[in-house]
Structure 1
Amino acid sequence: MSTAIEIRNLSKSFPCCKALQDVSLDIDCGEMVALIGASGSGKSTLLRHIAGFIPADRGQVSVLNRLVQQGGKMAPNIRSLRAEIGFVFQQFNLVSRLPVITNVLTGILYRTRLWRSLLMRFSVGERQQAMEALVAVGIEQSAWQRAATLSGGQQQRAALARCLVQGAKVILADEPIASLDPESSRKVMELLASMNRDRGCTVVVSLHQVEFALKYCPRTVALHRGAVVYDGPSAALTPALLGELYGSAAEELFGRMLDSPAPKAHTPVTRLPPLAA
Structure 2
Amino acid sequence: MAIALEIRQLSKTFTPGQKALDNVNLRVDEGEMVVLLGASGSGKSTLLRHIAGFVCGDAGSGSVKVLDRYVQRDGKLARDVRALRTQIGFVFQQFNLVGRLPLTTNVLTGMLHRVPPWRSVFKWFTRDERQRCMAALAQVGIDKYAAQRASTLSGGQQQRAAIARTLVQEARLILADEPIASLDPAAARKVMDTLARINRELGTTVIVSLHQVDIAMRYCQRVVALHQGRVVYDGTPARLTPALLHDIYGPLATELIAHGAPEAQAAPQPALAH
Q: TM-score, normalised by structure 2?
A: 0.94
1:13-44 alpha-carbon deviations (Å, 9 max, x no partner): 11273110000000000000001111111000
The 1:267–1:26 alpha-carbon spacing in structure 2 relative to 1, beyond 3 Å, is farther
* CA distance, structure 2, for counterparts of residue 156 and residue 227 of structure 1: 28
What's the counterpart of residue 13 of structure 1?
Answer: 13
* CA distance, structure 2, for counterparts of residue 106 and residue 229 of structure 1: 37
The answer (yes or no) to whether the contact 1:3–1:27 under 8 Å persists in 2 is: yes
What's the counterpart of residue 235 of structure 2?
Answer: 232
Among 174, 190, 194, which residue is 1:191 paired with?
Answer: 194
Between the aligned residues of both structures, percent identity stands at 61
What's the counterpart of residue 3 of structure 2?
Answer: 3
The answer (yes or no) to whether the contact 1:177–1:188 under 8 Å persists in 2 is: yes
* CA distance, structure 2, for counterparts of residue 89 and residue 177 of structure 1: 10
Matches within 5 A, 1:89-238: 89-238=92-241
The answer (yes or no) to whether the contact 1:33–1:220 under 8 Å persists in 2 is: yes
AA at the equivalent of 1:40: G
The answer (yes or no) to whether the contact 1:79–1:110 under 8 Å persists in 2 is: no
The answer (yes or no) to whether the contact 1:83–1:111 under 8 Å persists in 2 is: no
AA at the equivalent of 2:212: Q
1:76-134 alpha-carbon deviations (Å, 9 max, x no partner): 11111111100000000001111000000000112222222232221110001000111
Matches within 5 A, 1:36-51: 36-51=37-52
The alignment of Structure 1 onto Structure 2 pairs a total of residues equal to 270
- Contiguous gaps of at least 5 residues in structure 1: none
The 1:272–1:96 alpha-carbon spacing in structure 2 relative to 1, beyond 3 Å, is same
* CA distance, structure 2, for counterparts of residue 269 and residue 53 of structure 1: 36
Give the CA RMSD over aligned residues. 1.9
Deviates further, 12-21 or 180-189:
12-21
What's the counterpart of residue 63 of structure 2?
Answer: 60
- For residue 268 of structure 1, report the CA deviation from its aligned partner: 9.0
Deviates further, 236-245 or 136-145:
236-245
* CA distance, structure 2, for counterparts of residue 100 and residue 27 of structure 1: 32
1:215 match: secondary structure: helix
The 1:268–1:225 alpha-carbon spacing in structure 2 relative to 1, beyond 3 Å, is farther
The 1:177–1:217 alpha-carbon spacing in structure 2 relative to 1, beyond 3 Å, is same
The answer (yes or no) to whether the contact 1:194–1:270 under 8 Å persists in 2 is: no
1:117-157 alpha-carbon deviations (Å, 9 max, x no partner): 23222111000100011111111111011100000000001
* CA distance, structure 2, for counterparts of residue 5 and residue 271 of structure 1: 29
- For residue 208 of structure 1, report the CA deviation from its aligned partner: 1.3
* CA distance, structure 1, for counterparts of residue 10 and residue 216 of structure 2: 24
